Amino acid sequence: MWFSNALDLLPLVVLLFYYRRLDSLMLFFAAFMLLTALSDALLDVLFFLKLPNNMPVIHIYLLLSVVFVGLIYYQALIGNVLKKAVIILSAVALLVMFSATFFFGSLMQYPSMSNTALSILVIIFSLLYFFQLFNEKTIIKVEQRSFFWINLGLLINFSSTILFFVLYKYLLDKKLWAYFNINDYANITFNILSTVGILQLSRKST
């Protein structure tokens, strides 16, 4: 867990190095990465202090993540239809999270439904981005685009862990650590791919 969370700093350090080249899309992504790093660090501190319940931190992180994910893909996707879809789907995800937390659960329970909603949202957005990217009329080198790698990392990360979030309440306690390991591996992959993407900022095409 600690290594996965520590690796959150890698993309942030590289982003800081290229801060003058960040456009609106990458600035929102940088804010999302900072949010993730701070959230993971706070969870590690609470775990070290052996506090009984850190679930409110996760709930707040998920709500803010939907906002930043929406802002990221609003910039990444082109056309009024796709941009409106980002707004509507993000609003629906927020509504699901609020309902799951305050009507069907509580801030002190693990937000499996909220995690699932965020995962579905990211998967839909990332697939829309790939569809848009590979249907461009101009010939492009996708591997030289920053957000290609970031989007790939997001898709792998959230598609790898969605089943865990869906089935969380039905898993036996002795199996939870195995699934958390999957989450850690997915997070490591995301951070590495994101770093590769950020390094593409040295090229003209972002």
pLDDT at 171: 59
* pLDDT, greater one: 204 or 61: 61
Cα–Cα distance for residue pair 89/85, rounded to 1 Å = 6
Contact 77, 128 (CB under 8 A): yes
Digit-coded pLDDT (tens) for 17-62: 999 899 999 999 999 999 999 998 898 888 888 777 788 999 999 9
pLDDT at 181: 74
Digit-coded pLDDT (tens) for 87-106: 999 999 999 999 998 888 88
Q: Is the pLDDT of residue 206 over 70?
A: no
How is the chain split into domains, by residue range?
A: 2-202
pLDDT class for 138, splitting at 50, 70, 90? confident
The average pLDDT across 60-76 equals 97
Q: What is the pTM of this model?
A: 0.89
For tokens 């650590």, the residue is 177
